[in-house]
């Protein structure tokens, strides 16, 4: 019988009456649910709905509750957590979990390899002394013991000799096999790996903690640790933890002749392994691999803090042995720090487009990862208070990739009493309006509709790429035009006087005419861009597209009540009310009229209409475009998808149907491979779309 046939049978079978029948039913339910779990977690191709899965799980749970002795160790009911513990039991590791020596640069790595060769009495390592390089996952090390293929114990590393028993919690992690599959499974084997919190899930967790006014986790590693050390395993179950297995510990039979082969054996058994592991025969290639990940790490959906380099052959590893608490046969290449400490000289505030006031740190300049940082964000007043950050403090500043540097914490031990507690100013720094805190929000706002700082930001936003997309109109120009008095209301953009522009410093004929031409062209932007450009609170780009998908003219949008707006899928009360308020204000009515008079598009273009039927070959499909496509730009490719009824999303998930890959595709292509999402190229996209 196929899996689906067995599933259908279980969904409709009458309750078993004999004890034997009961055990058989429990066995079938466990098997069928485990197979569905595999399809979901490993292949990302579930064949039943979440509701159907839960239905089967509930019938299994009901049977187990009636007869607890029949509950199997690999029952998926363990995944949802069990009764809270009073504390964690200590467990001694049969073989210590060692730590690693560090290498900070190419020379350190080469010196380590030379030491290995010398000890092995081998002159030239190639190809006998191959190396495996793996990403060093920044999570928590665990040791999982399997007996007869069943997960019987999971322990933290602890001090390397004694850890804590966290079996109940680890059983809730979706990609940890409760029973090993495949061949050559030793009767008893310990599997070691790293439990981590994906970055995306970490951000979602902090968002949800923030919305409930709960304490946030500082980084994904802390979130993983905090989630694993829960006495109530149902809390762990609610967190999206995952495991990368990287080696085996003590086992009753040898697992594989090399580290690289062990990884593939682990994968056969059902574990997630990190797919970026590579085997090399020269240390120079290992060095390039390590250096390349120093930058690429930003693209991964999990944190790494280095690369672990291991002598590949297990017999050579054994020959090399250990020194005190680290193996000689492995070394951790550590990336340069992305954090550094410096003095917080002052805190100033910025005024955003919506009037939101954001504090910013003025720092004693410090070099982090090769870049000098003198300003960093402090997010909001609550952030500063929660972390007790004071002016004059030594603070830790983090810089990651393209992200704006941020102050992450203050060092309280170096205080001498001269530090000052910062207070949110009571007035707007740009217009002196008394700042207000809106009900239920942590941020302070300048509510003066005529505040010049807010207005400059609004003009900048109006002209930006996803809004009216006015060529050559960036933030500097917004400041110049507003400060020169040429723009005092948004609609002034459409009646700029050529002579007045020419009279400005550095405005020649060419620059002026280009700007005026850019403004002219902006009148034909899609209605969703125009709506987004107005800078209405809570109306982002996607929301604007959603609204325009149902309401085809600015007039209809302006005339809609909150009820009519919330009837649109994806539009909630907050957005609806914000729109109603905005369109209700007199100056805004005048703005819309003036824009219409100037000839700005106020109706949905044909391209924006939601296609259906034959015009919608992509209906129900979600695409992610990544890398550089040969002819279509990314934006054009996304439009192509949308015009044919598809959804163009920016991040790859289980819900993605196709990843359209161009040159130099980064982590999204990796993620697609990881999740088994189909990868197509531009030609295939065009073909599927009937172009």
Q: Which residues are catalytic?
A: 136
Of these, 29, 100, 201, 446, which contacts ligand IVH (CB under 6 A)? 100
Q: Does 225 bind ligand IVH (CB under 6 A)?
A: no
- To the nearest whole angstrom, how small is the minimum distance from the Cβ of residue 424 to ligand IVH? 41
How many residues at the interface with ligand IVH, by CB under 6 A?
15
Q: How far is the CB of 280 from ligand IVH (least distance, A)?
A: 15
677 touches ligand IVH by CB under 6 A: no
Does residue 629 bind ligand IVH (CB under 6 A)?
A: no
Nearer to ligand IVH, 37 or 306 (CB): 306
By CB under 6 A, which span of 50-58, 136-144, 165-173, 524-532 interacts with ligand IVH? Answer: 136-144
What residues are paired with 396 via a beta bridge?
Answer: 341, 409
d(CA 248, CA 263): 9
Which of 64, 134, 312, 608 binds ligand IVH (CB under 6 A)? It is 134
The verdict on 158 binding ligand IVH (CB under 6 A) reads no
CB of 141 to ligand IVH, least distance (A): 3
- Residue 220: name the closest of 239, 198, 238, 243 by CA: 198
Cβ proximity to ligand IVH: between 176 and 308 the closer is 308
The minimum distance between CB 308 and ligand IVH, in angstroms, equals 4
Q: Is 649 within 8 Å of 578 (Cβ atoms)? A: no
Closer of 45 and 95 to ligand IVH (Cβ): 95
Residue 247 CB, nearest distance to ligand IVH (Å)? 6
**Of 327 and 549, which has the nearer Cβ to ligand IVH?**
327
- Cβ 466 to ligand IVH, closest distance in Å? 39
> According to CB under 6 A, which residues from 249 to 308 bind ligand IVH?
308
Q: Which of 91, 141, 373, 384 binds ligand IVH (CB under 6 A)?
A: 141
Residue with tokens 């802390």, as numbered in its chain:
222
Q: By C-beta, is 194 or 682 nearer to ligand IVH? A: 194
Alpha-carbon torsion, ordered 195, 197, 198, 202, to 10 deg: 180
Structure tokens at 116: 């290995």
Interface with ligand IVH includes 64 (CB under 6 A)?
no
Comparing CB distances to ligand IVH, the nearer of 248 and 578 is 248
- From residue 194, give the alpha-carbon distance in Å to each of 209, 224, 335: 24, 10, 18
CB of 571 to ligand IVH, least distance (A): 44
The DSSP secondary structure of 156-197, one letter per residue, reads E-TTSSEEEB-HHHHTT-TTS-SB--SS---SEEEEEEEEE-
CB 274 within 8 A of CB 242: no
Segment lying near ligand IVH (by CB under 6 A), choices 30-38, 95-103, 108-116, 474-482: 95-103
Q: Which of 109, 129, 185, 194 binds ligand IVH (CB under 6 A)?
A: 194
- The residues near 170 (Cβ < 8 Å, ≥ 6 apart) are 142, 144, 151, 154, 176, 195, 228, 243
**Binding-site member from 23, 82, 99, 475 for ligand IVH (CB under 6 A):** 99
Taking CB under 6 A as the binding criterion, the range among 92-100, 224-232, 636-644, 668-676 that sits at the site for ligand IVH is 92-100
Q: Which stretch binds ligand IVH (CB under 6 A): 129-137, 163-171, 499-507, 578-586?
A: 129-137
Q: For residue 1, with 0-12 CB atoms within 10 Å meaning exposed, 13-18 middle and 19 or more buried, which class applies? A: exposed
User: Which residues ranging from 313 to 332 are in contact with ligand IVH (CB under 6 A)?
Assistant: 327, 330, 332
Q: Which stretch binds ligand IVH (CB under 6 A): 131-139, 210-218, 265-273, 451-459?
A: 131-139
> Is the CB of residue 77 less than 8 Å from the CB of residue 61?
yes
Shortest distance in whole angstroms from residue 170 CB to ligand IVH: 14
Torsion of CA 369, 651, 672, 49, to 10 degrees: 140
Q: What one-character DSSP code corresponds to residue 88?
A: P
- d(CA 521, CA 510) in angstroms, rounded, equals 16
Retrieve residue 178's tokens.
């409760």
Is the backbone peptide bond immediately before 369 cis, with ω within 30 degrees of 0? no
Which tokens in the block code for residue 209? 């903690």
Q: How far is the CB of 159 from ligand IVH (least distance, A)?
A: 12
Q: Which of 656, 674, 668 is nearest to 628 (CA)?
A: 668
Q: How far is the CB of 519 from ligand IVH (least distance, A)?
A: 54
Among 3, 47, 70, 98, binds ligand IVH (CB under 6 A): 98
Classified as helix, coil or strand, 81 is: coil
Q: How far apart are CA 559 and CA 544, in angstroms?
A: 16
Rounded least distance, CB 199 to ligand IVH, Å: 16
Length of the chain: 691
Q: Are 329 and 320 in contact (CB under 8 A)?
A: yes
Residues 398-437 interacting with ligand IVH (rule: CB under 6 A): none
Binding mask 332-351 for ligand IVH (x = CB under 6 A): x-------------------
Nearest to 67 by CA among 21, 6, 8, 14: 21
What is the tally of helices (H) and strands (E) in the chain?
25, 26
- Angle formed at CA 611 by CA 610 and CA 617, multiple of 5 degrees: 130
Q: Which of 330, 531 has the CB closer to ligand IVH? A: 330
> Does residue 234 touch ligand IVH according to CB under 6 A?
no
Q: Taking CB positions, which residue lies at the least distance from ligand IVH?
A: 141
Q: What are phi and psi of 304, to 5 degrees?
A: -130, 150
> Whole-number minimum distance, CB 293 to ligand IVH, in Å?
12
Residue 7 or 262: the one with the smaller Cβ distance to ligand IVH is 262
Nearest to 189 by CA among 139, 150, 215: 150
Query: Of the ranges 39-47, 96-104, 614-622, 634-642, which one interacts with ligand IVH (CB under 6 A)?
Result: 96-104
In the set 103, 133, 137, 487, which binds ligand IVH (CB under 6 A)? 137
CA atoms within 13 A on the CB side of 77: 23
Considering beta carbons, is residue 290 or 308 the nearer one to ligand IVH?
308
Residue 137 or residue 548: which is nearer to ligand IVH going by CB?
137
Residue 136 sits in the site that holds ligand IVH (CB under 6 A): yes
581-586: long-range contacts at Cβ-Cβ below 8 A with a sequence spacing of 24 or more?
Answer: 582/534, 582/536, 582/537, 583/557, 583/558, 583/559
Nearer to ligand IVH, 329 or 473 (CB): 329
Can you read off the two tokens belonging to residue 436?
């207000």
Residues that bind ligand IVH (CB under 6 A): 98-100, 134, 136-137, 141, 157, 194, 246-247, 308, 327, 330, 332
């Amino acid at each position: 019988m196929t899996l689906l046939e067995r599933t259908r049978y279980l969904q409709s079978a009458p309750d078993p009456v004999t004890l034997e029948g009961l055990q058989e039913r429990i066995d079938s339910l466990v098997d069928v649910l485990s197979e569905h779990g595999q399809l979901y977690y490993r292949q990302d191709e579930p064949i039943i709905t979440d509701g159907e899965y839960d239905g089967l799980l509930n019938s299994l749970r009901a049977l187990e509750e009636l007869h607890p002795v029949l509950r199997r160790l690999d029952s998926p009911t363990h995944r949802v957590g069990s009764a809270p513990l009073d504390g964690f039991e200590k467990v001694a590791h049969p073989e210590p979990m060692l730590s690693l020596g560090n290498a900070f640069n190419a020379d350190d790595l080469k010196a380590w390899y030379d030491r290995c060769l010398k000890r092995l009495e081998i002159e030239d390592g190639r190809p006998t002394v191959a190396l495996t390089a793996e990403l060093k996952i920044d999570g928590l090390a665990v040791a999982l013991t399997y007996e007869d293929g069943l997960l019987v114990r999971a322990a933290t590393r602890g001090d390397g000799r004694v850890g804590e028993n966290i079996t109940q919690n680890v059983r809730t992690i979706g990609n940890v096999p409760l029973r090993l599959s495949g061949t050559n499974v030793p009767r008893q084997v310990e599997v070691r790996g790293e439990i981590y919190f994906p970055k995306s899930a970490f951000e979602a967790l902090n968002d949800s903690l923030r919305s409930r006014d709960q304490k946030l986790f500082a980084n994904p590693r802390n979130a993983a640790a905090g989630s694993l050390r829960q006495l109530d395993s149902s809390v762990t179950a609610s967190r999206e933890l995952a495991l990368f297995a990287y080696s085996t510990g003590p086992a009753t039979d040898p697992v594989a002749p090399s580290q690289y082969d062990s990884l593939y054996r682990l994968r056969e058994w059902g574990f997630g392994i990190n797919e970026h592991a590579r085997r090399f025969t020269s240390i120079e290639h290992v060095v390039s691999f390590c250096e390349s990940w120093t930058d690429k790490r930003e693209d991964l959906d999990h944190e790494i803090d280095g690369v672990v380099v291991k002598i590949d052959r297990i017999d050579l590893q054994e020959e090399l042995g250990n020194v005190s608490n680290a193996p000689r046969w492995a070394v951790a290449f550590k990336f340069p720090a992305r954090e550094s400490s410096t003095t917080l000289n002052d805190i100033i505030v910025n005024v955003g487009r919506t009037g939101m006031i954001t504090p910013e740190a003025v720092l004693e300049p410090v070099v982090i990862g090769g870049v000098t940082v003198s300003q960093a964000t402090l997010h909001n007043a609550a952030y500063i208070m929660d972390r007790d950050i004071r002016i004059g403090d030594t603070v830790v500043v983090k810089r990651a990739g393209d992200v704006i540097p941020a102050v992450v914490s203050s060092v309280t031990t170096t205080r001498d009493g001269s530090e000052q507690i910062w207070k949110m100013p009571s007035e707007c720094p740009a217009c002196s309006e008394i700042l207000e805190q809106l009900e239920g929000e942590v941020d302070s706002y300048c509510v003066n509709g005529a505040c010049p700082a807010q207005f400059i930001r609004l003009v900048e936003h109006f002209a930006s790429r996803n809004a009216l997309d006015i060529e050559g109109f960036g933030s500097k120009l917004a400041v110049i035009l507003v400060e020169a008095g040429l723009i005092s209301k948004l609609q002034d953009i459409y009646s700029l006087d050529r002579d007045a522009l020419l009279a400005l410093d550095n405005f020649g004929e060419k620059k002026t005419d280009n700007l005026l031409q850019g403004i002219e062209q902006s009148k034909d932007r899609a209605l969703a861009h125009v709506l987004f450009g107005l800078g209405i609170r809570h109306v982002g780009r996607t929301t604007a597209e959603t609204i325009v998908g149902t309401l085809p003219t600015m007039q209809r949008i302006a005339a809609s009540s909150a009820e009519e707006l919330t009837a649109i899928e994806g539009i909630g009360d907050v957005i609806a009310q914000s729109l109603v308020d905005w369109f209700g204000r007199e100056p805004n009515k005048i703005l819309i009229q003036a824009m219409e008079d100037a000839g700005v598009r106020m109706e949905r273009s044909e391209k924006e209409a939601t296609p259906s039927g034959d015009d919608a070959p992509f209906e129900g499909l979600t695409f992610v475009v990544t890398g550089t496509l040969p002819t279509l730009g990314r934006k054009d490719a996304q439009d192509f998808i949308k015009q044919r009824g598809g959804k163009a999303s920016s991040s790859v998930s289980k819900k993605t149907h196709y990843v359209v890959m161009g040159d130099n595709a980064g982590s999204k292509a990796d993620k697609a491979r990881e999740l088994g999402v189909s990868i197509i190229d531009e030609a295939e996209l065009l073909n599927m779309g009937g172009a």
